Amino acid sequence: MAACHSEAAVMLLRRLLPLFALCLSVPVSVAAPPAASNTGMPKICLVLSGGGARGIAHIGVLKALEEQHIPIHCIAGTSMGAIVGGLYAAGYSADELERIVRGLDWGEQFDDKPPRRERSQQQKDEDFDFPVSLELGYGEGRLRLPKGTVGGVGFERMLARLTRRVSAIDSFDKLPIPFRAVATDMESGEGMVFDHGNLASVMRASMSVPGAFAPIEVDGRIYGDGGMTANLPVDVARAMGADVIIAVNIGTPLASKESLGNVLGVTRQMISILAGQNVKAQLAKLTTKDVLITPQLGKLSSLDFPHALEGIAAGYAAARDARQALAPLAVDEVRWQALLAARPQPRDHSGKLAFVEVDGTRRSNAEALLKGITTEPGDEADDAKLQDDAARLLGRGDFERVDYRLQDASLGDGRFGVIYQVEEKEWGPHFFRLGLGGSTDFEGNAGFDLLLGHRLPWVNTWGGEWRNRFQLGRTRALKSEFVQPLGPGASVFLAPKIEMERRTLDVFQGDQRVSQQQGGFDRAGVDLGLPVGLFGTLGEARVGLARGRFTAEQSIGQPGAAALHFNESGVTGSLVLDQLDNAAFPREGWRLAGDFFNVRNHSDSSAVTPTSYTRWKAAATGAMSSGRSTWQWGAEFGGFLDQRRIGYSDFRLGGFQRLSGYRNEQIDGNFLALGKASYRYRLAELTPFGRALYVGASAEVGNAWENRNDMSWHSLRKAGSVFLAADTPLGPAYVAFGAAEGGQRAVYLFLGRP
């Protein structure tokens, strides 16, 4: 594994070093500065450096500057300095910024997807089958990768929400405080100083560390982190006409040798080295009139966002320590209030929207997308509604990012509207997701499954999508369907499909495995589907026709039941309602799912097998949390509407949290009932982006019966487990001990959802 990391790091170094060298040799291009202040006081410009999570310390510096009544006439920032500086320039006070940061869930901010409840049902279903977050692409004859390991969709949504008040302002000189942000043009290697554009997009472009946070496209160019060219943009402040500069250098200490064992660690180290070199050059441009503030942040790393609030106190203390140098710049209370009142205020875009548009489509269709949002011309400009619509567009899974801005009408008549800016994923148009599942009880009962999901969206202008699912392992399966809306962006859809499945099933007598069966089906059909809730964010309902062939026969072991082959055709139906906030480790929400197959045309040589039947199953789960504790419950039922059955045990229990203590799928029957409740405690954080380690326990009760007449309360089996779980990049993983009444005991290593 270490050799693999080393080779990847060398390849990354070969690709990035020419760019880094170019970044060091090319000066930052600076737009013409605005006119100097004519108030008689010096023009004071604040320069805020990059530093990732360490950059939250800038808020503490701003708090101290406000307390000391130090006027700020312009701001230049890089990376996190651009984000804090841009929001301050947009009119937020230091106290408001601190409240915003204290209310953030950093795991959500750096999630690559919108909140799960705002996604389409198809996207929610993918969370269950394909927990590996990496999405591969194929196009133009080659495999493609996303631009970064973290897309930061949640972070971008937060920036869009916070900058809504100034989203119609194009020139940053018209902000309450004139502002500049520095990013790096990833094609030319030059620094780029943004003095206009969409403020949220510009701030996000400035904070785009290669290999970590994905670079973004602005005006047709790809921009990465500004720290590669000007991590402390002193010369940008000079170009803005600054007489005095207050420079806040956060800095990022170099990582230890132990942190350089992977590509991301090597990339971060290279960025830190490069940023440190250009900071030295910028520090040399400070004069005796300028003030340098350097917060002492200790071991706080650039990615340690869960502890970033510690930096606010350090920033405040550093600015307080510099009060003697800052004192000549202070103004009295009267002058301070007058300066605050004189800052230009953005136009209040309240009222009705004159137009609603979608821009940036290539394969997708703007007409269809507009039918997937609730905002229409004539509606009031509601910030929450605009954000929800942007989240729904992003929840389709077709776009790398979705932003919106309020824009004045071109006629200058006071009217305004909203434009949703979509950026389609560049690594398509074919998209692939991976899933892994497996378990062992360390007693010879082990299984492993590899899943591959494929989808091709926007096959036509109505939004048709081809979806495929492949599975290898103890279960071999293929499912392919084409989902076709019945009109551009229509809710109702048709979905012709084919399915093939073969499973290896163990047959037990008591606790002993005596044989194996190979069972499965080939089936074709068509569904008529309808999203449930607003644009399908609640769930999905389907009804359809299907025809296929079922087979089950013994493969190894003692002679058992005779081989079974029959055809079946009839009506199918399904309903899924999903409001869980997370598929693997939900903290809040619920999920209901059920389906049936009403067989009306059955052919079989066996006289004991019925000529018609209705097979059904249903499942429910829910979760609630308080602090680090989560309680989760679940129930599952299945069977036939009458006592007739098909000669094959359709439902199975046994294994981790499916009657723990029993062997995997040890208990089988034609009727099933299972109830379970679990508690888990969030023990430790594994990454700054939400992954964690858990400890917990479960209690379970249930059974599977051959005949409905055998079902009774006293025949229910009781079991439970204790477990250690981790939210890993490959999906949820468990080490567990299970026990059931009757003396059954098992130790499990489990990968996937129980």
Q: Does some domain include residue 429? A: no
**600 and 661 part of one domain:** yes
Are 106 and 180 in the same domain? yes
| Same domain assignment for residues 417 and 306 | no
Please state the pTM of the whole predicted model. Answer: 0.77
pLDDT higher than threshold 70 for residue 276: no
Which of 16-25, 230-239, 706-715 shows the highest mean pLDDT? Answer: 230-239
State mean pLDDT over 575-583.
94
Is residue 423 within 8 Å of 359, Cβ to Cβ? Answer: no
Q: Reply yes or no: is the peptide bond before residue 429 cis, omega within 30 of 0.
A: yes
Residues 559 and 655 in one domain: yes
Tell me how far CA of residue 322 lies from CA of 290, 330, 566, in angstroms.
12, 12, 84
Point out the domain boundary residue: 340, 365, 395: 340
- Which tokens sit at 175? 């902000």
- Is residue 449 domain-resident? no
Q: Any idea of the CA torsion for 402, 405, 411, 414, to the nearest 10 degrees? A: 150
pLDDT at position 66: 96
Is pLDDT at 5 greater than 80 in this prediction?
A: no
Two tokens, residue 232? 């402390």
Contact 599, 547 (CB under 8 A): no
* 462 domain residue, yes or no: no
Given 424, 459, 475, the domain boundary residue is 424
* Distance, CA of 633 to CA of 413 (rounded, Å): 57
**Within a domain: residue 208?**
yes
Distance between the two ends of the chain, CA-based, in angstroms? 29
Task: Report the CATH number that the domain containing residue 244 is assigned in CATH.
Answer: 3.40.1090.10
What pLDDT score was predicted for residue 25?
Answer: 40
| 98 and 64 within one domain | yes
Own/partner pairs, 97-104, CB within 8 angstroms, 24+ separation = 97/59, 97/62, 98/59, 98/63, 98/312, 100/162, 101/56, 101/59, 101/308, 101/309, 101/312, 102/309, 104/158
51 part of a folded domain = yes
Is there a contact between 675 and 702 (Cβ–Cβ < 8 Å)?
Answer: yes
Residue 727: both structure tokens together: 């939210």
Among 19, 17, 53, which residue's Cα sits nearest to residue 266? 17
Nearest Cα to Cα of residue 574 among 617, 519, 535, 609? 617
Q: What is the CATH number of the domain that holds 635?
A: 2.40.160.50
Partnered with residue 396 across adjacent β-strands are none
- Say if 12 falls within a structural domain: no
Q: Shortest CA distance to 483 belongs to which of 469, 502, 472? A: 469
Same domain for 358 and 225 = no
Residues 197, 98, single domain; the answer is yes
Highest mean pLDDT among 5-19, 349-363, 595-609: 349-363
**What single DSSP character describes residue 378?**
T
pLDDT surpasses 60 at 299: yes
pLDDT band at 528 (very low <50, low <70, confident <90, very high): very high
My answer on whether 330 and 356 are in the same domain is no
Q: For residues 470 and 560, give the distance between their C-alpha atoms in angstroms, rounded to a whole number.
A: 30
Least-confidence region, from 61-65, 131-135, 666-670 = 131-135
217 and 334 co-located in one domain: yes
Residues 333 and 371 in one domain: no
Tokens of 583: 């598929």
Q: Which residue has the higher pLDDT, 382 or 237?
A: 237
In whole angstroms, what is the distance from residue 745 CA to residue 256 CA?
A: 45
Query: Measuring CA to CA, how many Å separate 305 from each of 110, 261, 300, 311, 416?
Result: 10, 21, 9, 10, 37
259: pLDDT confidence band, cut at 50, 70 and 90? low
Q: Per residue, what are the HEC states of 277-313? A: HHHHHHHCCCCCCCEEECCCCCCCCCCCHHHCCHHHH
Q: How does the average pLDDT of the chain come out, rounded?
A: 85
CA torsion angle for 231, 234, 238, 244 (degrees, to 10)? 140
More confident residue, 587 or 557: 587
Average of per-residue pLDDT across 52-59: 92
Q: Which domain holds residue 236?
A: 44-112+167-340
Which pLDDT belongs to residue 249? 94
Q: Are 23 and 189 in contact (CB under 8 A)?
A: yes
Residues 751, 734: Cα–Cα separation, whole Å:
6
In this structure, how many other beta carbons lie within 10 angstroms of the beta carbon of residue 84? 28
Residue 460 lies in a domain: no
Same domain, 390 and 318: no
Query: Do residues 417 and 517 share a domain?
Result: no
CATH code at position 370: 3.10.20.310
Residue 442 lies in a domain: no
**CA–CA dist 628, 338 (Å, integer):** 47
Domain boundary among 340, 371, 394: 340
Quick: pLDDT tens for 655-702: 999 999 998 888 988 899 999 999 999 998 876 556 889 999 999 999
Q: Is 312 exposed, middle or buried (0-12, 13-18, 19+ CB in 10 A)?
A: buried
Beta bridge partners of 244: 44
How many domains, in total, are found in the chain? 3
